[in-house]
């Protein structure tokens, strides 16, 4: 295929180069800025009425062969006033250009990396500078976009090295990917997490992070977000969720080598507002002394010391705190009283709340980031080479991530017509001890759901480091603390049962640009992104059995490895032309073709039945035969042809037309070719009517229809191989049935917008409206299991997203010394599931522990939470005769989508000092907390203890005035006066009864206002720098400094399982890490 492309490329070059223009004489000169007299590079110089022209070089100089008939040169540069100059008989024409405040226009990078004047665009885009993401650094630069771009909703999950959910203008696909496409310098980048379904459903697993985190923020020059379908149509169908286009820093023509050094250190601590608080009145157990099997003080009893009387022993096997009230005068045997290596061995000691609670378990996060970049160039060749080392430790013990990035970009002008560009990146990321998410084996679930308030985390640490053994507070039998029942020693989990992974990635491109004439450019480009990754997971011999491995059996030890390789190559041939007709009309056009090849392979293999030799982590060290590995290999090719024309009239009216046809191997033959198009209109009305104080005004309108294919291997049904039963071979009909009749998906989008600038450009305003309908979606529809299958791929269904986006910027103070700018953005998206395939009215996106699911329900926004809800009577919650709220099965109990999101960025500049800070707001949207569901049930939070409305301890028996009074009415409508018992776990906070205590009880408003980012930068004045430095900047940065407002108790509303369609569910959620640090930038 490559050879064919080359042949074609050569053919095009040969065809096009025959059309050359006659030149009679040469005019040269220099273009300078009126403001400061400096040379202006990149100014367009054109002979009026022709297409003959050139651009100025890095010093502002130009030289142009012109026909004898030429008499006027037109000098244009975006943001500057255009000038027309009579040539006469001169051979040197120098000129200075002044700022034009009526031209807001900036150049933005659009689809396929085509730079365009923003004024000519009939669709909304928003640009963010690289500084805004590399100042206060995060593991993934995408986190730093939060609150900065209107309509881009970002949810960072607080999982160490974890994935970031990013959705632009709402979720469009019922089951497919809703994340935008990432493109770096024209290279589409894989951004998958590779998190398995088990992890996504909140069971055991790790969040392996988003692959976009391989993009090194130090190398980013600008990020441009293409939000709508019209903007991204040229990228093809997979850009229908929007595109995050990244342009990296490039070398510039300059004297000598430029060297940039950057070094940064940040330290982080957990934000205690996002972690559980414990009641300090009651300790281990599930009930009080009057309940069943406890002794008179509420403890297990046995004659431990052999003195003939029964002793009190902590119920170590009960992972809750609903037990005996603390009493400093009561001495009991604790878990470590039975550990010979412990100082407390054989001792009874006071029954009190632990001194070191799990909040003391967290460590200080340290992030080091060092980067060096060398750049240089002359008129013909430029390059930039950078190396970055990122080294991060987490807040959990034994948690590190190291990333090394090498980036090279170069450009070479081979001759007047031919330019070659190359871009190459190598990234290696190695991580140890990622966050285990969800319900199984996650220490946050331990701390938030199943904990004894009497257990001191430091004593767990001490005993682990003293013995190296799994001595736990949670022995099934208190005499045997080395046989845990549910939870391992906290440090054993981190140091023995950790995972590790490593990813090596190469991405880059090579492009040849051939410019036979000044109005035509032909580009041939090959770009590739490929990585291989290994993920290793382990359970050490002696651990609590947990679901593990291929068969998800309970395994007391084991090892698993996953090898993934992902690659994508793109071959592009793109003709761009730019022609003026007379002085009023112009056309910019693109004609091109693209071949995309994707391949994916994944092998997951695990031991079974445990490990033979402890601490040896290899597949051959399996007690039972290693089960059949999970083996996935898919390929996909898409061929695209596209054309685009942007017709301009007098810098005032622009019509942008795009068309593209794709042929995809993922669709069945006959349905695999699909055409789509977009039309966009931009009207710069300020060119026509002059309004006082207004410098620039534009309206934009667009319409787009985009088709989409699906993932590979969804058209042919294949059987599943199960492990043999003895000699019997077992195959089963698959749970997911494929469909040979799939058709392309459709997305229809409308957008309108208004852009204004006024008061000498101190005020900027951008308003956008959109409506998008995605229909005929390819959905793996869940079926009644009575069909014999779980899922079937089908076309159908429609989701509508409507929204408003506003960006408003104002320079409150603007003078030579001081500038204060406030830029605010606000966006509201409303989604509605209009229909689902085959007439079903609900699609379950994810089903979670706690009987809660996430759904696409017809007539509801995308992603609503369903579970047991309250029963209402005249608007009041119904309380049953025992005082408990009545539960009704399968209700919509929450909508995780925020009502609106926004951000306010303040930037203050005084001479060399710049201060910026960002407030990030998300309003509305609900989350379900499994942590609260179980954590209250096990009596850990303060609200489960203390006094009730009568002033009596809640945990006293009802007969003694205890219990909790729920607001609501009895079934007969009378105000509830019946207290629910709260003297044992099965009462007012119980999780296990489907007819009462509905899931809706732990649904919370997910709104937040965060003081997200603060950066104070001091640029040393040039006179202090001397000859060696060209720039020195010192910055103080902070991220996630305060949560100014939130309603989810003890957790960050943003926390969750990871990126993907399953949002709004908190289980074992990680606390927010507050970071502060400094950064030093040196430029030589």
Nearest CB to another protein, comparing residues 487 and 900: 487
Q: Write b or e for each residue in 142-180: b if 16 or more Cβ atoms lie within 10 A of its Cβ, otherwise e.
A: bbbbbbbbbbbbbbbbbbbbbbbbbbbbbbbbbbbbbbb
Q: Which stretch binds another protein (CB under 8 A): 29-37, 105-113, 635-643, 955-963?
A: 635-643
Q: What is the nearest approach in angstroms of another protein to the Cβ of residue 635?
A: 5
Q: Examine residue 293 and tell whether it contacts another protein (CB under 8 A).
A: yes
What mask of x and - would describe binding to another protein in positions 639 to 678, judged by CB under 8 A? Answer: x-x---------------------xxxx-xx--x------
Maximum CA pair distance of the chain? 121
Identify the three-state secondary structure at position 337. Answer: helix
Q: Write b or e for each residue in 1054-1070: b if 16 or more Cβ atoms lie within 10 A of its Cβ, otherwise e.
A: bbbbbbbbbbbbbbbbb
Candidate residues 201, 246, 792, 1041; the one interacting with another protein per rule CB under 8 A? 792
Copy the structure tokens of residue 1042. Answer: 């305060």
One DSSP character per residue, 960-1008 reads GT-SEEPSSB-TTSPBP-PEEP-SBTTSTT-SS-TTBS-GGGGEEE--E
- Torsions phi, psi for 504 (to 5 deg): -115, 130
Residues 879-938 that bind another protein (CB under 8 A): 882, 889-890
Q: Examine residue 959 and tell whether it contacts another protein (CB under 8 A).
A: no
Nearest CB to another protein, comparing residues 845 and 1048: 845
Contact 1000, 852 (CB under 8 A): no
Number of residues that bind another protein (CB under 8 A): 103
Handedness of CA 199, 202, 204, 208 (dihedral sign): positive
Using alpha carbons only, give the angle 463, 467, 473 rounded to the nearest 5 degrees. 40
Candidate residues 875, 992, 1023, 1024; the one interacting with another protein per rule CB under 8 A? 992
| Secondary structure of 386-428 in HEC code, one letter for each residue | EEEEEEEECCCCCCEEEEEEEEEEEEEECCCCEEEEEEEEEEE
Nearest CB to another protein, comparing residues 412 and 847: 847
Nearest CB to another protein, comparing residues 528 and 851: 851
Q: Examine residue 486 and tell whether it contacts another protein (CB under 8 A).
A: yes
Q: Which stretch binds another protein (CB under 8 A): 126-134, 510-518, 730-738, 954-962?
A: 730-738
Distant-in-sequence, close-in-space partners of 390: CB < 8 Å, separation ≥ 6: 137, 216, 367, 368, 369, 401, 402, 403, 404, 405
Give the closest residue to 858 by CA, choosing from 797, 772, 777: 797
Q: What is the nearest approach in angstroms of another protein to the Cβ of residue 559?
A: 16
Candidate residues 266, 393, 527, 855; the one interacting with another protein per rule CB under 8 A? 855
Contact 513, 565 (CB under 8 A): no
Q: Examine residue 589 and tell whether it contacts another protein (CB under 8 A).
A: no
Contact 532, 502 (CB under 8 A): no
Copy the structure tokens of residue 297. Answer: 């003080």
d(CA 307, CA 892): 59
Q: Which stretch binds another protein (CB under 8 A): 26-34, 165-173, 632-640, 958-966?
A: 632-640
Nearest CB to another protein, comparing residues 538 and 1012: 538
Copy the structure tokens of residue 12. Answer: 């095009």
Q: Which stretch binds another protein (CB under 8 A): 718-726, 745-753, 815-823, 1049-1057?
A: 718-726
Q: Examine residue 760 and tell whether it contacts another protein (CB under 8 A).
A: no
Candidate residues 207, 782, 1013, 1081; the one interacting with another protein per rule CB under 8 A? 782
Q: Which stretch binds another protein (CB under 8 A): 39-47, 363-371, 622-630, 818-826?
A: 622-630
Nearest CB to another protein, comparing residues 61 and 550: 550
**Strand spans (E) along 518-652:** 520-539, 546-548, 553-555, 558-581, 585-606, 630-649
Q: What is the nearest approach in angstroms of another protein to the Cβ of residue 237?
A: 16
What mask of x and - would describe binding to another protein in positions 543 to 582, judged by CB under 8 A? Answer: -xx-----x-xxxx------------------x-------
Residues 439-478 that bind another protein (CB under 8 A): 476-477
N-to-C CA span, the chain:
45
Handedness of CA 1043, 1049, 1053, 1058 (dihedral sign): positive
Residues 694-713 that bind another protein (CB under 8 A): 712-713
Q: Which stretch binds another protein (CB under 8 A): 169-177, 363-371, 948-956, 985-993?
A: 985-993
Q: What is the nearest approach in angstroms of another protein to the Cβ of residue 801?
A: 23
Residues 590-609 that bind another protein (CB under 8 A): 591, 593, 608-609
Q: Which stretch binds another protein (CB under 8 A): 4-12, 54-62, 270-278, 677-685?
A: 4-12
| Parallel/antiparallel/unpaired status of strands 44-47 and 728-732 | unpaired
Q: Examine residue 627 and tell whether it contacts another protein (CB under 8 A).
A: yes
Nearest CB to another protein, comparing residues 716 and 1027: 716
Q: What is the nearest approach in angstroms of another protein to the Cβ of residue 670?
A: 9
Contact 678, 703 (CB under 8 A): yes
Q: What is the nearest approach in angstroms of another protein to the Cβ of residue 740?
A: 10
Nearest CB to another protein, comparing residues 202 and 1006: 202
Candidate residues 636, 909, 1010, 1046; the one interacting with another protein per rule CB under 8 A? 636
d(CA 46, CA 33): 18
What mask of x and - would describe binding to another protein in positions 318 to 357, judged by CB under 8 A? Answer: x---------------------------------------
Q: Examine residue 286 and tell whether it contacts another protein (CB under 8 A).
A: yes
Contact 823, 807 (CB under 8 A): yes
Q: What is the nearest approach in angstroms of another protein to the Cβ of residue 515?
A: 16
Q: Examine residue 868 and tell whether it contacts another protein (CB under 8 A).
A: yes
Q: Is 389 exposed, middle or buried (0-12, 13-18, 19+ CB in 10 A)?
A: middle
Nearest CB to another protein, comparing residues 431 and 868: 868
What mask of x and - would describe binding to another protein in positions 526 to 545, judged by CB under 8 A? Answer: ------------------xx
d(CA 93, CA 86): 9
Q: Which stretch binds another protein (CB under 8 A): 132-140, 259-267, 330-338, 833-841?
A: 833-841
Nearest CB to another protein, comparing residues 851 and 961: 851
Q: What is the nearest approach in angstroms of another protein to the Cβ of residue 733?
A: 5
Alpha helices in 530-582 (DSSP H): none
CA 56 to chain centre: 41
Nearest CB to another protein, comparing residues 460 and 672: 672
Q: Examine residue 2 and tell whether it contacts another protein (CB under 8 A).
A: no
Candidate residues 74, 181, 511, 783; the one interacting with another protein per rule CB under 8 A? 783
Q: For residue 10, give the H/E element and its range.
A: helix 2-16
Give the closest residue to 223 by CA, choosing from 252, 178, 185, 166: 185
Q: Which residues pair with 176 in a beta bridge?
A: none
Q: What is the nearest approach in angstroms of another protein to the Cβ of residue 442?
A: 17
Contact 225, 149 (CB under 8 A): yes
Q: What is the nearest approach in angstroms of another protein to the Cβ of residue 309?
A: 19
Contact 134, 908 (CB under 8 A): no
Give the closest residue to 461 by CA, choosing from 449, 472, 452, 453: 472
Q: What is each CA distance from 820 to 35, 503, 534, 813, 944, in whole angstroms?
A: 22, 43, 48, 5, 49
Q: Examine residue 840 and tell whether it contacts another protein (CB under 8 A).
A: yes
Candidate residues 788, 859, 946, 1031; the one interacting with another protein per rule CB under 8 A? 788
What is the DSSP secondary structure assignment for residue 206, as one 8-state letter? B
Nearest CB to another protein, comparing residues 255 and 785: 785
Q: Examine residue 583 and tell whether it contacts another protein (CB under 8 A).
A: no
Nearest CB to another protein, comparing residues 784 and 815: 784
């Amino acid at each position: 295929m490559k050879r064919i492309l080359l042949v074609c490329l050569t053919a095009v070059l040969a065809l096009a180069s025959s059309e050359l223009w006659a030149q009679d004489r040469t005019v040269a000169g220099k273009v300078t800025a009126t403001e400061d007299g400096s040379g202006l590079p990149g100014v367009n110089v054109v002979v009026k009425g022709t297409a003959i022209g050139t651009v100025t070089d890095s010093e502002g100089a130009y030289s142009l062969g012109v026909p004898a008939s030429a008499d006027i040169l037109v000098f244009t540069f975006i943001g500057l006033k255009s000038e027309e100059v009579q040539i006469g008989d001169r051979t040197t024409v120098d000129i200075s250009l002044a700022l034009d405040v009526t031209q807001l226009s900036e150049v933005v990078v659009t689809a396929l990396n085509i730079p365009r004047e923003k004024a000519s665009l009939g669709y909304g885009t928003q640009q963010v500078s690289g500084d805004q993401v590399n100042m206060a650094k995060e593991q993934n630069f995408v986190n730093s976009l939060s609150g900065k771009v209107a309509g881009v909703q970002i949810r960072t999950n607080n999982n160490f090295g974890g994935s970031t959910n990013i959705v632009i203008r709402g979720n469009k696909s019922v089951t497919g990917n809703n994340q935008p496409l990432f493109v770096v310098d024209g290279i589409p980048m894989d951004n998958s997490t590779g998190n398995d379904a088990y992890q996504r459903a909140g069971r055991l697993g790790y969040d392996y992070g988003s692959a976009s985190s391989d993009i090194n923020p130090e190398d980013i020059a600008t990020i441009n977000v293409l939000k709508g379908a019209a903007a991204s149509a040229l990228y093809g169908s997979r850009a229908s969720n929007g595109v995050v286009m990244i342009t990296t820093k490039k070398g510039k023509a300059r004297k000598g080598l430029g060297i940039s050094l950057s070094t940064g250190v940040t330290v982080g601590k957990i934000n205690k507002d996002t972690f559980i608080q414990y009641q300090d009145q009651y300790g281990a157990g599930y009930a009080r002394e009057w309940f069943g099997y406890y002794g008179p003080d509420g403890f297990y009893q046995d004659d431990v010391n052999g003195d003939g009387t029964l002793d009190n022993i902590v119920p170590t096997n009960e992972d809750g705190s609903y037990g005996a009230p603390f009493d400093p005068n009561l001495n009991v045997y604790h878990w470590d009283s039975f550990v010979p290596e412990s100082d407390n061995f054989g001792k009874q000691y006071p029954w009190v709340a632990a001194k070191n609670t799990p909040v003391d378990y967290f460590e200080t996060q340290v992030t080091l980031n060092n980067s060096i970049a060398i750049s240089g160039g002359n008129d013909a060749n430029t390059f930039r080479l950078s190396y970055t080392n990122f080294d991060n430790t987490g807040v959990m013990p034994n948690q590190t991530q190291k990333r090394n990035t090498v980036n090279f970009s170069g450009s070479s002008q081979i001759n007047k017509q031919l330019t070659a560009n190359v871009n190459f990146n190598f990234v290696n990321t190695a991580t140890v001890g990622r966050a285990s998410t969800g319900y199984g084996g996650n220490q946050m679930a331990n701390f938030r759901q199943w904990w004894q308030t009497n257990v001191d985390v430091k004593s767990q640490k001490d005993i682990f480091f003293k013995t190296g053994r799994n001595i736990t507070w949670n022995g099934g039998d208190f005499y045997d603390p080395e046989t845990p029942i549910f939870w391992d020693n906290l440090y054993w989990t981190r140091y023995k049962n950790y995972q590790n992974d490593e990813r090596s990635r190469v991405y880059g491109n090579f492009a040849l640009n051939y410019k036979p004439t000044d109005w035509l450019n032909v580009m041939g480009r090959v770009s590739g992104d490929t990585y291989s990754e290994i993920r290793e997971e382990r359970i050490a011999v002696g651990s609590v059995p947990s679901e593990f491995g291929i068969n998800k059996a309970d395994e007391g030890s084991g090892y698993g490895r996953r090898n993934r390789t992902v690659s994508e190559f793109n071959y592009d041939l793109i003709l761009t032309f730019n022609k003026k007709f007379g002085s009023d009309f112009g056309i910019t056009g693109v004609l091109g073709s693209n071949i995309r090849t994707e391949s994916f392979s994944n092998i997951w293999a695990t031991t079974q039945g445990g490990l033979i030799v402890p601490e040896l982590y290899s597949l051959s060290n399996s007690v039972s035969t290693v089960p059949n590995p999970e083996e996935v290999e898919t390929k996909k090719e898409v061929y695209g042809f596209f054309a685009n024309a942007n017709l301009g009239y007098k810098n005032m009216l622009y019509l942008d037309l795009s068309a593209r046809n794709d042929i995809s191997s993922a669709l069945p033959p006959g349905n695999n070719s699909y055409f789509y198009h977009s039309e966009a209109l931009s009207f710069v009305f300020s060119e026509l009517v002059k309004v006082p104080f207004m410098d620039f005004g534009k309206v934009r309108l667009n319409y787009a229809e985009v088709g989409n294919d699906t993932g590979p291997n969804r058209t042919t049904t294949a059987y599943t191989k199960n492990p043999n039963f003895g000699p019997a071979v077992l195959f089963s009909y698959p749970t997911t049935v494929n469909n040979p009749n799939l058709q392309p998906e459709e997305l229809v989008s409308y957008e309108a917008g208004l852009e204004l600038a006024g008061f000498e450009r101190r005020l900027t305003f951008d308003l956008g409206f959109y409506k998008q309908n995605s229909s005929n979606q390819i959905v793996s529809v869940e079926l009644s299991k009575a069909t014999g299958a779980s899922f079937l791929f089908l076309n159908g269904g429609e989701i509508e997203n409507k929204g408003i986006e506003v960006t408003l910027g104002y320079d409150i103070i603007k003078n030579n010394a001081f500038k204060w700018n406030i830029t605010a953005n606000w966006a509201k998206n409303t989604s509605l599931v209009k229909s689902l395939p085959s007439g079903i009215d609900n699609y379950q996106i994810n089903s979670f522990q706690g009987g809660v699911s996430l759904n696409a329900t017809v007539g509801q926004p995308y992603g609503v939470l369903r579970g047991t809800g309250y029963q209402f009577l005249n608007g009041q919650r119904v309380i049953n005769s025992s005082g408990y709220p009545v539960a009704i099965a399968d209700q919509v109990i929450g909508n995780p989508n925020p009502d609106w999101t926004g951000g306010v960025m303040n930037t203050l500049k005084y001479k060399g000092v710049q201060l910026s800070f960002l407030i990030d707001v998300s309003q509305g949207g609900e989350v379900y907390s499994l942590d609260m569901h179980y954590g209250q049930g096990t009596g850990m939070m303060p609200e489960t203890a203390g006094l009730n409305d009568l002033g009596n301890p809640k945990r006293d028996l009802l007969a003694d005035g205890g219990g909790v009074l729920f607001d609501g009415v009895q079934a007969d409508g009378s105000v509830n006066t019946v207290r629910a018992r709260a003297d044992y776990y099965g009462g007012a906070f119980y999780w296990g009864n489907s007819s009462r205590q509905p899931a809706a009880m732990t649904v919370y408003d997910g709104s937040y206002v965060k003081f997200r980012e603060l950066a104070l930068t001091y640029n040393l004045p040039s006179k202090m720098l001397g000859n060696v430095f060209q720039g020195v900047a010192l910055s103080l940065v902070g991220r996630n400094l305060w949560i100014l407002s939130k309603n989810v108790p003890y957790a960050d509303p943003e926390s969750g399982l990871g990126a993907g369609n399953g949002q709004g569910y908190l289980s074992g959620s990680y606390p927010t890490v507050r970071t502060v640090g400094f950064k030093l930038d040196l430029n030589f």
